[in-house]
Structure 1
Amino acid sequence: MNNMRKNKFVVLLLISLLIMTLFVGCTSNNQSNVKEPKENSNEVSKSAVEYPLEIEDQFGNKLVFEKAPEKIVSLAPSHTEILFSLGLGDNLVGVTSFCDYPEEAKTKEQVGSFKEINIERIIELEPDMVFQYGPGDESINNNLKEAGIKVISYEPETIDEVINLIKTVGMITNKTEEAEKVTKEMIDKKNSIVEKTKDVEKVKVFYEIWHDPLTAAGPGSFMDELITLAGGDNIAKDADSPYPQFDVEKLIERDPEVYLAAADMEERSPESIKQRPGYESITAIKNDKIYSLEPNIVSRPGPRIVEALELVAKAIHPELFK
């Protein structure tokens, strides 16, 4: 396992500790490149999908769908949200214990958690497709494929990659019109927010992924993109990984004007952050610019990623949203 994957595992392990407070993070690191469908997206959305359909997923796996999958297992909360947004709730036969949005997702059979996937149960459910986050475990992938189950793998890290993924899933499932509607709404909302923030003076921002050790949202993370689009200047943008450990001394030296964290546990609440040794000299703390953000929105690269952008923008530039 290379260093980047080790960093990814450490961050995901830390995030898993937040289960008690419903912090279901999908943030991770991969040099992702979610491809646009080969056809023009607008043309695809207005015509019926022709099967058999060949798809190459983000990790180079080529699959041929003879027809739209009727039974789907989702192994990530963000992917589950994508499927529901396309009206595929009835097609979902299995989800993870983290899949809690929309409310109907909680009624689906749970076939996995952060630590373990019940591969035997997945095979018993006979899904046409398993939709997983990241490349997955090679042995599990092989077992599923040997059982005749198609496995597609994606790990979007930007708004555009999420949009492209939704369009791709729309093609696979013959829900292109629904995908066009969902993505148009996302694009319109993104453009509206960016229009408000594009000419504002940049504000120095720090986003805390974890507190012990202090871990930041660095370059390549989707939170880094959200901060930038929201008119912020991420003080960890020059780190050597998407989720780097960040020295408290460096934090104090770079002096963020806005401090962001997920509202997932008491140790990371604004009140607790204020009490940390040395933090009293940071401008964000002195000016009470510490904001706790809804964890399931800001941690999932799915249809609500534009809502995450809005939350970040309102925290950084509240004057623009009065």
Structure 2
Amino acid sequence: MIKSKFTKVLVLLLSLVLIMAAFTGCIKKKEENIDKKSEINESNKVGAIYPLEVEDDFGNKVTIEKEPLRIVSLAPSHTEILFAIGLGNRVVGVTNYCNYPEEAKSKEKVGDFFNVNVEKIIELAPDLVIQYGQGKEEVNKRLKEAGIKVLSYEPESIDDVINLIDELGKITNRQRAAKMTIVDMMAKRDFVLSVVSGKEKVKVFYELQAKPLMTAGPGSFIDELINLAGGENIAKDAKGKYPQFDLEQLIERNPDVYLTSKYGENKTVDSIKSRDGYENINAIKNDRVYILDPDIISRPGPRIVDGLELIARKIHPEAFK
């Protein structure tokens, strides 16, 4: 009888212990979830202070009074940056050429680099407009008169892109997301550099357009990508970033790799190889002519490091096997 009572008490005590453990576990789990949720909520709010004084690439000083919640992007590369740092839901207007990521295609269109629809932008009531280059003076004036903040950026290297992502992260209070994007970019860049490290430089020509023949000269994005990818740009001493290039000079310098991209042209590898005078160029003879995606290799946004890898794989395919 006593043993039976003792057993019942023991079972009751064990049940209470299990209940308390489960209860404590639930509380701990709930606390962990709350902490995790708080961490997510705070992950991109690590110190932005408004009003924030900002100076863009052209010396324009702008005061950002509060966290921008409605943004118009006037460049595909800027659009890609904004989406990359988690601001897709704040982008209310983009250009006709903003096609990446897929969600960007559904945003309101406000024209393009050459023809900006100012009325449409004002109608969208953005807190901030980000454009590539200085933009048109009249457009800038009208936007500012409407009380819209305008910032202008023109990154010209991978480092410039990284700095811009960091800057936009601060302006929009998405610092941590910006840092994560930058880390990913630097990892991809460093991977490519390590793969081509020590490889012999390969002579490369990049065709911007055929008639007249134009290329990417010193200081251009393509020039930097070719150099980082283990190539030698045969137009490295040309005058200007995008100069004309003589056919005679092309044949004389004899590139081993011929790169180009499609910009609405009816261009194929065969059409390039069949051009008069091209038959003696090494790149033509050795079937090393490549047509690349212009959106990846020339947009100064997060995917520019993908462009670097793409070019490196064409210049040094053996290094990636």
Q: Per the shorter chain, which TM-score range?
A: 0.7 to 0.9
Q: Is the 8 A contact 1:201 1:231 kept in 2?
A: yes
Aligned twin of 2:92? 93
* Structure 1 residue 47 displacement after superposition: 2.6
Aligned twin of 2:209? 210
Distance in 1 (alpha carbons) for counterparts of 2:191 and 2:172: 30
* Structure 1 residue 268 displacement after superposition: 2.8
> TM-score, structure 1 length as denominator?
0.84
Q: Is the 8 A contact 1:267 1:273 kept in 2?
A: no
Distance in 2 (alpha carbons) for counterparts of 1:291 and 1:72: 37
Aligned twin of 2:190? 191
SS at match of 2:222: helix
Distance in 2 (alpha carbons) for counterparts of 1:64 and 1:74: 18
**Counterpart amino acid of 1:124?**
E
* Structure 1 residue 263 displacement after superposition: 3.9
Q: Is the 8 A contact 1:144 1:151 kept in 2?
A: yes
SS at match of 1:112: coil
Aligned twin of 1:289? 288
* Structure 1 residue 267 displacement after superposition: 3.9
Give the direction of change, closer, same or farther, for the CA distance of 1:149–1:265 in structure 2 (3 Å limit).
closer
Deviations 1:81-111 (A, max 9, x none): 0000011111111111100000000100001
Q: Which runs of 5+ in 2 are unaligned?
A: 1-42
Aligned twin of 2:181? 182
Aligned twin of 2:25? none
SS at match of 2:160: helix
Distance in 2 (alpha carbons) for counterparts of 1:103 and 1:174: 24
Aligned twin of 1:20? none
SS at match of 1:207: strand
Q: Relative contact order (alpha carbons < 8 A, sep ≥ 6): 1 or 2 greater?
A: 1
- Structure number with the higher helix fraction is 2
Distance in 1 (alpha carbons) for counterparts of 2:235 and 2:155: 20
Aligned twin of 2:32? none
Q: Say which is worse superposed, 177-186 or 60-69, in terms of deviation.
A: 60-69
SS at match of 1:242: coil
Aligned twin of 2:144? 145
Q: Say which is worse superposed, 259-268 or 85-94, in terms of deviation.
A: 259-268
2:316 aligned with 1:317: yes
* Structure 1 residue 298 displacement after superposition: 1.1
Aligned twin of 1:16? none
Q: Say which is worse superposed, 114-123 or 52-61, in terms of deviation.
A: 114-123
Larger radius of gyration: 2
Give runs of aligned pairs for residues 182-261 of structure 1, distance below 5 A.
182-261=181-260
* Structure 1 residue 276 displacement after superposition: 0.4
* Structure 1 residue 113 displacement after superposition: 2.2
Aligned twin of 2:307? 308
Aligned residues: 279
> TM-score, structure 2 length as denominator?
0.85
Q: Is the 8 A contact 1:45 1:180 kept in 2?
A: no
Q: Is the 8 A contact 1:217 1:223 kept in 2?
A: yes
**Counterpart amino acid of 1:273?**
I
* Structure 1 residue 197 displacement after superposition: 1.4
Percent identity, please.
60
Distance in 1 (alpha carbons) for counterparts of 2:317 and 2:218: 24
Distance in 1 (alpha carbons) for counterparts of 2:270 and 2:87: 41
Distance in 1 (alpha carbons) for counterparts of 2:128 and 2:175: 18
**Counterpart amino acid of 2:171?**
I
* Structure 1 residue 45 displacement after superposition: 7.9
**Counterpart amino acid of 1:79?**
H
Deviations 1:141-178 (A, max 9, x none): 01101111000000111000000000000000000000
**Counterpart amino acid of 1:256?**
P
Distance in 2 (alpha carbons) for counterparts of 1:320 and 1:197: 6
